[in-house]
Copies of this chain bind each other. A is one copy, B any other.
Amino acid sequence: MGKIKVGVAGYGTIGQRLADGVYLQEDMELVGVADFAPTLAVRALKEKGMPYDLYLVDGADKSAFDKYDIPVSGAFHDLVDKVDIMLDSAPAGVGAKNKEIYLEKGKKAIFQGGEKNSVADVFFHGYANYEQGVNKDYLKLTSCNTTGLIRSVDCLDRAYGIEKVAITIVRRVADPGDYHRGLTNALQVDKAPTHQAVDLMTIMPHIHATGILVHTPVTHGHFITVLATGKQKITKEMALEVFRKHPRIRVVTLDEGFLGNASLFKYARDLGNVRGDMYEIGLWEDSIVESGNDIMYGIHIPQESVTIPETIDAIRAACGMQLTSKEGTAVTNQYLNIGRFQ
């Protein structure tokens, strides 16, 4: 099998990272990305020398791109024609419209969390239900919080069995560089239960989950507390053992200097990671506490980048590149350089 050809629809916060992530997969070829306007992301692509090609979505004004001398390689349908599979990170709701084009041209696609579940055949997570996505045409990824949350719950569940989960999400309200949304000196409460708990139950139907979400005025990552009720008593040591083995979980401590979400962002910057991104979730050893059969812990979700590995897993599943979670995630991890710190 030759390289799988991949296109990206929507070159925003997620789309940029998907493109960069696919670019690193030696068994995939990034054909190009599509967008609507010469946003700062597109202009940065130009300033970097166009490492990959740009296509224009329908309705885009080519002269706006010409103004900045941004080379354009064709229209959205040209891109779709050339690929085996599309990663759709268009604004919420647009993916459902794009699907009509994918269907018409017989191309597979992976949608992001902003779309409705009905857009896809399978609501997908690289660890929790990879096998359900194998050779399917349309997958939808879990959202950033759900993706990271499930990593931690799934590994406890596989090792010890989990019955019930209650979460509190301390949600970062905006990404760095956002001005269109934001809170100033306010915590904002959402109607409970929060959708991430509901989504976890969709992916892992044998677990009962509920939770509350509160928005906070920060940009560098969500923080989730998880209270997981085991089928058996789970000690802190038992939990740590499986957390430490997970390549996409980075166990950290306060003593090392990881004092909160901003420490992980800073560390990723100092590592030289592109954009200061981190694919792993952070999990504080100091936060793990037992309570009867319950185990409680706190995790950090790097919202801009956490779904990238599982989305690449989804390509592997949908295209039948690897048939099991174990194999598929291992190849993704290798090319994304995940797990090197262990």
Contact = CB atoms under 8 A, between A and B. Distances in A.
A173 B166 contact: no
A298 to B, nearest CB: 5
Interface residues of A, number: 81
A205 interface: no
Copy tally for this chain in the complex stands at 4
- Looking at chain A's contact residues, is the secondary structure mostly helix, strand, loop, or mixed? mixed
A201 B287 CA distance: 19
Interface string A295-306: 011100000000
Contacts of A262: 176-179, 185-187
A340 to B, nearest CB: 8
A187 B48 contact: no
Q: By CB atoms of chain B within 10 A, which of A193, A270, A276, A294 has the most?
A: A270
A193 B291 CA distance: 10
Interface stretch (A24-32, A209-217, A312-320): A209-217
A192 B276 contact: no
Contact of A296 (B178, B208, B211, B272): B211
Interface in A252-304: 254, 256-263, 265-267, 269-272, 274-276, 284, 286-292, 294, 296-298
Q: For A193, A220, A265, A266, which residue has the most chain B Cβ atoms within 10 angstroms?
A: A266
B269 A192 contact: no
Given A272-B274, A275-B272, A298-B192, A185 B184 contact: yes
